[in-house]
Amino acid sequence: MSCVLNDEQFRVTSIPFNSSNFMIFTGVPIKKDSYRVNSGKYFVSVKIDPNSLPVQPALGQHWSVKGARSIGPISTGDCQMQQHTYENPVQIECQLPESGEQLIQFISKEKDFKGIGESKARELWRLLGKEFHIILRHDSPESRDRLRSVLSEDSIDALFAGYAKYTNLSHCNWMSQRKIPASVQQRLLKHHGENSIQAIQENPYLLIGFGMSFDQVELSLTHWQLKRGIKANDPQRLSAALEISLRKEIEKGHTFTNHSSLRPHLNKLLKDSSLVSQAFAAGHDKAQFILNPTSRTYHPTAQLLMENVVAKRLIALITQKDLFDEKAYKAFDEALKDLPYELTQKQSEAVSVCLDNGVSCITGGAGTGKTTVLRTGLRAYNSLGFEIHAVALSGRAAMRLHESIGFPTKTIAAFLKGDPIEPTPERKNHLLIIDEASMIDLPTMYRLVTHIDPSVRIIFTGDPDQLPPIGCGKVLADIVGSNAIANTMLDIVKRQEGSTGIPEYSKLVNAGVVPEQLSMGNIHFHQTQKNDIADVCCALYEKSPSNSRVMAPTKKLVSEINNLVQSKVNPGGQRLRFKMHGDLFYLDLRLNDAILFTQNQYDKGIQNGSLGTLTSVEGSGESYGEVTLDTDVKIEVNQAVLDCMELGYAITLHKAQGSQFPRIIIALQKGRIADRAWLYTAITRAETEVHIVGSEENFKEIVQRSSNAQFRNSYLKTLLK
């Protein structure tokens, strides 16, 4: 059945909904090549994925849309009107008006052209006429001299600034027609500007570096009109294939790889052994990698550079030792007096090591007293006049760290957004604490060491046996494994009561030993088939909703469990909603739902990994409701906040890193992520009670299989030795 395609032009008057994967914007129809409204009896509404748009819609913009439309009545006050709705149209463009009257009205109404009303816009058109676009395309002294007869200096600034926003529209529309995602477009334009189309035509494979896959580019090439054809052995194509192959290895966590690991990726992309051989040569010529002549390993240039910088910074700090002088001893003694209990010999040794070295580590399993050591050491450093900078990867981990040590903390992302840490006459000495360092990947560590002065001391804390980083590298494991940096390994469990069985159980798992009894103490094993894991987790959650959190290895399983738990524990909760043209639109979050935040929004008090409860769905204006965080801070839900909200009954283990919960339910499902380190980390997130849901066969296989981190190739350890 054929579908009739309609096309219309409209001026944006409202953007009632905007999230990362869905957007609604509406406007009044305008006649083609005119500023006049086409009809006063209907609105145009577009429902679309924002990633398919050339630019983000804004009030006053002119858009054209083509696609299948539905027509329905809407109420606006006392008036009955129609709404023409286009859902995922086949073509949509933002347009800078060309005709005189349309351009006059656009400039006078568009907020980007601040201070230029209709009369000034009309004078401007009379002055420039058809030269309007030519003059404004280049901000030059000659252009400004010409404009001064009509506009003030501030208005000229606003005119050029506003026009600059729209100069790339034709480029965006060209790229959108060729199915280049908006996110790729923006990155490309930022780098290549007005030369973006030319750059694509000269080398379409450059799009890979801005976020497209090799297959996406290859598939699209047949629809693009290029200045020249692309041959199978084109060096640009071969180099792009190698770039993708190296990236695949980096995504596995490696910082270097070998010929045998790269070849399968290249075979899959190029499907020709001779082309594969040529690809290695093309990559070497473009310096995409450095070949280690001794080991014959391939080191991607960027990763090797980062490893060298990190190693050099740490080695420089290693030379700063024997710092435990009389002042430090006195500060240590004073810090001990403030403690309500005595440190163990091992804990006391750990504090001394931190005070004695420019860089040091405090490592150990869950509950071994790392925080106690850190708190004591930091009090001593504080009395010595050091400025304390404490960071953690997630927002929740940063908050728990603050509660534990009593000093201000930040997420690493927030820390890196601030000014670099450098000595000043007032604050000569600085100390950086990196908590839960096992999760710090190489790029993050590189950014940290280049954000601080080489004189800043560093203390790493963490458990090298826990989860490795999501990104490439294994910084803490390499530091500990090198034996080049002073490290105190704590081994006496303090956190959990011995009666829970959690310390003993987690030690066995970490050692690769299957417990004789899968259920012991407060650890309960539930033999469950794969298809029933989500249901059993849900049933267990129902027994104690206020104390429980589910840990699952994949986002897919997390989502499945979240939806099940919501339907059981909160079936009648009032849904979050918003209004558009008098109609209510409902979202899948309900009053009293557990909420997880997945992005940092520092201005609103939200950090990635923050947990809370949806405590209000009563909206007003731009607010949809309210979330109360675990810290009792209340967050107003607007579109920006809503965009990073998910159900939080079940979460991935990475979101829980650095946090504890009274009762943990572990969804044990065999896969790439669920290894010994994953299970060990999940168990140690519990304060009093653990439920493991899965098959005994999978449990034994996971425990006996070495951590994935052990199979990561990283060069930092070698550089530190």
Residue range 298-332, pLDDT digits in tens: 999 999 999 999 999 999 999 988 888 899 989 98
Position 265 pLDDT exceeds 60? yes
- What is the mean pLDDT of the segment spanning 10-17? 84
pLDDT in tens, 194-251: 788 888 888 889 898 888 888 888 877 776 655 456 788 888 899 999 989 999 999 8
Q: Residue 581 — very low, low, confident or very high, per pLDDT cuts 50/70/90?
A: low
Q: Is the pLDDT of residue 686 over 50?
A: yes
Mean pLDDT for 1-19 is 78
403-415 mean pLDDT? 88
Handedness of CA 148, 151, 154, 158 (dihedral sign): negative
Task: Provide the pLDDT for residue 471.
Answer: 87
Tell me what percent of the residues of the chain surpass a pLDDT of 70. 92
Average pLDDT over residues 266-293: 86
Q: What token pair was written down for 459?
A: 């203390």
- For 34-52, write each residue's pLDDT tens digit: 556 666 678 899 998 887 7
Cβ–Cβ < 8 Å for 321, 356: yes
Q: CA 507 to CA 501: how far, in whole Å?
A: 10
Closest alpha carbon to 415 in 442, 445, 385: 445
In whole angstroms, what separates CA 539 from the centre of its chain?
32
Report which of residues 164 and 218 the model is more confident about.
218
Mean pLDDT in residue range 174-179? 77
Identify the pLDDT of residue 384.
94
625-629: strand order across its sheet: 634-637, 625-629, 611-616, 594-597, 645-647
Average pLDDT for 83-96: 85
CB 477 within 8 A of CB 709: yes
Higher pLDDT, 93 or 693: 693
Mean pLDDT estimate for the chain: 86
Question: Percentage of the chain surpassing pLDDT 90?
Answer: 38
pLDDT digits (tens, 9 = 90+) for 655-664: 886 678 899 9
pLDDT for position 162 = 75
Report the side by side order of strands in the sheet with 297-300. 257-258, 297-300, 289-291
Dist. CA 682–CA 257, nearest whole Å: 30
Band of pLDDT at residue 394, cut at 50, 70 and 90: confident
Per-residue pLDDT, 544: 95
Only one residue has tokens 């790029």, namely 443
What is the model's pTM?
0.77
Q: Tell me if residue 257 falls in helix, strand or coil.
A: strand
For residue 356, is pLDDT > 90?
Answer: yes
| pLDDT confidence tier of residue 582, bands split at 50, 70 and 90 | low
Q: pLDDT at position 374, please?
A: 92
* CB half-sphere exposure, 338, CA atoms < 13 A: 15
Taking residues 340-360, report their average pLDDT: 90
What is the spatial order of strands in the sheet that 686-694 belongs to? 523-527, 686-694, 661-667, 548-552, 650-652
pLDDT reading at 4 higher than 60: yes
pLDDT in tens, 502-557: 888 988 998 899 999 999 989 999 999 999 999 999 999 999 999 999 999 999 99
Most confident of 42-46, 478-482, 601-605: 478-482
The first and second tokens of residue 435, run together, are 């908590």
pLDDT at 496 over 60: no
